[in-house]
Chains A and B, each alone.
Chain A
């Protein structure tokens, strides 16, 4: 890994200055100048934070910009800090041979975001998994049911207030 990949750029303004020609950044700004709430380039990975209600449109934008392959989406529970959930969408480009991460912050109270299955059908299972294990709803998902746990399971196992072992 060369030195330029190692340096870390933190903050929206710094990323806009440091990576103005990045195709994903460019496309998102062309679509909506206020699209990026935050940005970070760390350990060779670009993380772009977008607003929760804009995730579907942002996903369509980066797909049109050449980031054609959706890898996965998962959540991180930052309990007890707020906003509680972070959703990380990993998207790879077969053209640029590069990966970006779209990041969305979701509140802990009744968490929900738009599903991106209309953009990438492959998000189907991953969104079901996040729903199953974190309890985050994906609006307009075709089949939002539990995937790993039994249908009648109570609670969301990957939340931080769910114990690792023992009975609740």
Chain B
């Protein structure tokens, strides 16, 4: 076989390559609509985008390097900080990868709890996206509505893990602790009213002519381009590719749940808005299924040398105290090997690649974060459009700079 595509054309830095008729404009890094510290260098002809170049790295904290210096269980809190809007998704992905290296069997209740919490995380993340995206377009009210519901979800997270945002609740081998007594009732109460709240957002936005004209037909991305540029998650499905890891390569018991994967073929910002809105409704259904079918049983794997013992046991049993001391001071050895675990995070395909050399510290942890790849498609989506459309497109791909820069 010969090489199918020709040698790529060398990219010239925009500031040097811009023609005399064009203007070079800096957008960011301190710009409210770039959702963090994204810097876009734009070459514009009047108001039309000729070229666009994302400059990233302002939030680089070297998390992958830090992971190599920590014990396996100490990496879990670091994963929260990568994507501060969906901490549970990061926790889950890392833990699933290490559990596969360890060949651990996770009890069914823990798996169902993980699905329940992942879907709550998806709602949480989509609510922030919807609020900020609408605010970028000029619909300020929606932000106040979505943050009202997000607050409820954060309270649920606080009840279960003690933390609102940096939860670290999903641990290697199961969950950190038993959920509190009224936990499931609280979630039930929340999802009883939540579908009406989605209708409320939809009433504010879907029929809104300004919102409609700012998104419809803007930021078009074809299915072939989406695949070529590594776009995943809602933007991929909005471009007409029917692929969702939860359904197609299930993990953590997702195969036991019934849900639809919304797909649109329009490929524009409006399609991404619609896909995410339907995704929220599907998540509510999955949370309902998780609540109805929640099995009884332990929430931690039966592996005393890997999973920390309950506080109660640690105070009363010598054996448990020894295990606790050993795990905290020297960690646990993980068999040598390499594992790549992919999950469907709220923003797309997330992947954790963990390499072990048989010691108690990971030899290498690499994260594939969905919006890092999606950012590559930004130029394709914006080229030839107006300057103001960049704000709409950046909002529609739902970026989080924490996970792009790591």
Residues of chain A at the chain B interface (Cβ within 8 Å): 6, 31, 42-45, 47, 56-57, 60-61, 63-64, 68-72, 74, 76-77, 88, 90, 92, 94, 97-99, 101, 117-122, 124-126, 133, 140-143, 146-150, 157-158, 162, 164-165
Contact = CB atoms under 8 A, between A and B. Distances in A.
B57 A148 contact: yes
B169 interface: no
Given A90-B368, A148-B406, 5 more contacts: A43-B100, A101-B340, A118-B3, A162-B65, A164-B68
A149 B4 CA distance: 33
27 contacts: A43-B337, A47-B338, A60-B1, A60-B4, A64-B1, A69-B227, A71-B230, A72-B351, A74-B353, A90-B351, A90-B353, A92-B349, A97-B249, A99-B342, A118-B3, A118-B4, A118-B5, A118-B8, A119-B5, A125-B376, A133-B64, A143-B11, A146-B57, A149-B57, A157-B62, A157-B65, A164-B68
A124 B1 CA distance: 23
Interface string B339-350: 110100000010
Contacts of B202: none
Contacts of A101: 338, 340
B43 to A, nearest CB: 15
Contact of B7 (A42, A140, A147): A140
B363 A76 contact: yes
A143 B241 CA distance: 29
A72 B57 contact: no
Given A88-B338, A143-B11, A157-B65, A70 B3 contact: no
Most chain B CB neighbours (cut-off 10 Å) among A61, A146, A150, A158: A158
Nearest to A58: B1
B301 to A, nearest CB: 15
B64 A158 contact: yes
B269 interface: no
B405 to A, nearest CB: 6
Contact of A147 (B1, B56, B227): B56
The 4 closest A-B pairs by CB, nearest first: A122-B230, A143-B11, A142-B8, A74-B366
A140 B6 CA distance: 11
B250 to A, nearest CB: 10
Contacts of B351: 71-72, 90
